[in-house]
A = this chain, B = another copy of it.
Amino acid sequence: MARRPNIWSSLVHYPVLDREGNIVTTSVTNMDVHDLARSSRTFGLERFVITTPIDIHREMVLRVAALWQEETYARRTPSRKLALQLVRAAPRIEEAAAMLEEETGRRPFVVGTSARRLEGALTFKAVRDEIRADAAAPWLILFGTGWGLAPQALSLCTHVLEPVEGADGYNHLSVRSAAAVILDRLLGRP
């Protein structure tokens, strides 16, 4: 599959759930930024947005991403430069979507992901086919940290995906693993 300039991912740190179902803001972790940037780059996405309302976290993420663009680091690990180039930051999901709309001139489709089977969830095949059907359409794919995207986040979505199914109902993947599998199912070969 060729690269698609109008597909973005976002790792959402608010609003997400904690283990008791409360709505919380999670901390940005460096490994999530690297892993999801590398997965986003591998599967041909144009940008990867860290969504968090915490100003200092957005600032830190952008500084780390910028560091990898500097010649010393970029020469040492060119693949990391290419991945971290994708990184942007937004305070809220709505603003990540607005950034994408501004770049493409079209209101993006927003895809919610969840480990739970939500009402009206679409199959991977259905969303994959829809992405392929209109090569110019912008898409924003949301991944939730913590115990997953809160209902308020899912209510912003135009599409909600079925969960990645495990062997026997168990599907407690890390967000790093889940994001990679979901991007592969939507955008990977064949």
**Residues 1-40 of A contacting B (Cβ, < 8 Å):** 1-4, 19, 31, 34-35, 38-39
Cβ of A83 and Cβ of B172 under 8 Å apart?
A: yes
The verdict on A164 contacting chain B, using a C-beta distance below 8 Å, is yes
Question: With A176-B174, A184-B184 known to touch, is A167 a contact of B43 (CB < 8 Å)?
Answer: yes
Cβ of B188 and Cβ of A42 under 8 Å apart?
A: no
The verdict on A168 contacting chain B, using a C-beta distance below 8 Å, is yes
The verdict on A104 contacting chain B, using a C-beta distance below 8 Å, is no
Bound form: Cα–Cα A82–B166 in Å: 13
**Residues of A near any B CB (own CB < 8 A):** 1-4, 19, 31, 34-35, 38-39, 41-44, 77, 79-80, 82-83, 164-168, 170-174, 176-181, 184-185, 187-189
Question: With A164-B42, A173-B39 known to touch, is A184 a contact of B187 (CB < 8 Å)?
Answer: no
Question: Quick one: which of B41, B166, B180 contacts A42, CB cutoff 8 A?
Answer: B166
Cβ of A82 and Cβ of B170 under 8 Å apart?
A: yes
* Number of chain copies forming the complex: 2
With both chains docked as a complex, state the minimum distance between the C-beta of A165 and any C-beta of chain B, in angstroms: 5
Cβ of A166 and Cβ of B44 under 8 Å apart?
A: yes
Cβ of B170 and Cβ of A42 under 8 Å apart?
A: yes
Q: Which residue in chain B gives the minimum CB-CB distance to A3?
A: B167
Cβ of B174 and Cβ of A3 under 8 Å apart?
A: no
Bound form: Cα–Cα A163–B109 in Å: 30
Q: Which residue in chain B gives the minimum CB-CB distance to A180?
A: B177
Cβ of A167 and Cβ of B1 under 8 Å apart?
A: yes
Contacts of A19 in B (CB 8 A): 77
Bound form: Cα–Cα A164–B39 in Å: 11
